[in-house]
Structure 1
């Protein structure tokens, strides 16, 4: 959230400040970026829309927990609000670009289904329908100074509201997964000087969209 805020507030984005949609709730409550049904592969490790396992595969909730109260209270309102934000951009400009920003650890965690793949400084998650080549190319250029940029490893895909997913090409999307050692000392602690450089790269990308 801080990275996105710095990018949005930068001079590069002064002419067209991007909208930010921030998830302020822990994913241990609900994960708003999962499919809420059997399409979600992370359900295999207890990490669907409602987690029953932690990142270390420790029990969090009963496997047969009733997920409906959490989905109704948190997941669906988040999805509706994000859909409304995207709809508003389409109404105003004819299109919407979702840039989904995350971070990930240098070493794989036990929950990762694809943890044996490459772990570049910048992982770009793409979708075959919603990520056009030109969007991917702009991101690769913006983050070229960080040593390594890869596609869909260790995390693939990107977030698009279900209303538009797979049907509306006016909604384009890209996930940016940032390896944490590029801006902080793991496993925790304050961000270092790398955060400003990353914010600058993100701002440059957004300014060219």
Structure 2
């Protein structure tokens, strides 16, 4: 671990199930809430403002899935410090002193929006840093945080598939309540607020029957569920989801208004109810993945 960031040792944790493991793996890459002192000192924003990009409490929301046999990988570092749901080197050259490596992706839409592997902005396009960073600083974050996180995630997926023949990664996220999706009618009057968005990269990262189980479970609890609008899944979903090789990945985005007060970042009375419903979703997905031989064999 980078000795300059002692607060991030360890940089992530795995909550392991007791007893039999399922072939479901949970990942919470954006719920980290440990902000290194050196990072705070380099920012032009205060800690509360930096937390606007954080998927606060999402790791706790999905904690019940561990009781279903699914290991939960959760980052301790915040998304504003390093985003593992990006390519390893999606970097904005305007943020750094010195020349980036030639293999860096400096032209992706995410970089253009200020949301690369090392973000330039949070919230409503608020600039994070008061100064440019060194290229070496970026490389250290990637080497000590990004690469170990993905190495551990790959290991968990491989272990699940080795034991069961197939694996399902559930990538756990939250979204601001201001995000609006549109019904099929497409008019202003048809706009609704989605409670949950299921992202399967438009059917390419996860078998449709698996997504059907997640959607039916959540709708059964009364939630408004959208698929791929406005979130189809990020780098993790796309990178690890390959149904042809029996590896499936599904991104789940939860409306923050369901479980917390967004301004103060405090859980609300709805937290426990939602957590219970998500645990039931994981349980049903576990059963589906273990018993539907078509998903495992095709």
TM-score, length basis structure 2: 0.59
Shift of 1:176: 1.0
Indicate the residue corresponding to 1:75 in structure 2.
146
Of residues 56, 71, 77, the one that matches 1:19 is 71
Task: Evaluate the alpha carbon distance shift between residue 84 and residue 118 of structure 1 in structure 2; reply closer, same or farther with a 3 A threshold.
Answer: farther
**Distance in 1 separating the partners of 2:223 and 2:241:** 32
Shift of 1:8: 2.9
- Find runs of 4+ consecutive structure 1 residues off by over 6 angstroms: none
Q: Deviations over 1:28-83 (max 9, x none)?
A: 11101112343853111111111122232222246785232221121111111111
Give the number of the structure whose residues are more often helix, by fraction: 2
**Distance in 1 separating the partners of 2:124 and 2:175:** 14
**Distance in 1 separating the partners of 2:252 and 2:238:** 17
Instruction: Confirm or deny that 1:29 pairs with 2:100.
Output: no
Uncovered stretches (5+) of structure 2, i.e. residues with no partner: 1-58, 91-104, 180-187, 287-298
Give the number of the structure whose residues are more often strand, by fraction: 2
Uncovered stretches (5+) of structure 1, i.e. residues with no partner: 109-115
What is the SS of the residue equivalent to 1:147? coil
What is the SS of the residue equivalent to 1:174? strand
Shift of 1:161: 7.9
Task: Evaluate the alpha carbon distance shift between residue 87 and residue 138 of structure 1 in structure 2; reply closer, same or farther with a 3 A threshold.
Answer: same
Indicate the residue corresponding to 2:200 in structure 1.
126
Task: Evaluate the alpha carbon distance shift between residue 125 and residue 65 of structure 1 in structure 2; reply closer, same or farther with a 3 A threshold.
Answer: farther
Give the conservation status (yes or no) of the 8 Å contact 1:129–1:169: no
Indicate the residue corresponding to 1:202 in structure 2.
278
**Distance in 2 separating the partners of 1:166 and 1:65:** 36
Give the conservation status (yes or no) of the 8 Å contact 2:65–2:283: no
Shift of 1:168: 5.2
Give the conservation status (yes or no) of the 8 Å contact 1:126–1:175: yes
Larger Rg: 2
**Distance in 2 separating the partners of 1:84 and 1:161:** 17
**Distance in 1 separating the partners of 2:121 and 2:159:** 36
**Distance in 1 separating the partners of 2:241 and 2:209:** 19
Higher relative contact order (CA 8 A, sep 6+): 1
Indicate the residue corresponding to 2:228 in structure 1.
152
Give the conservation status (yes or no) of the 8 Å contact 1:89–1:95: yes
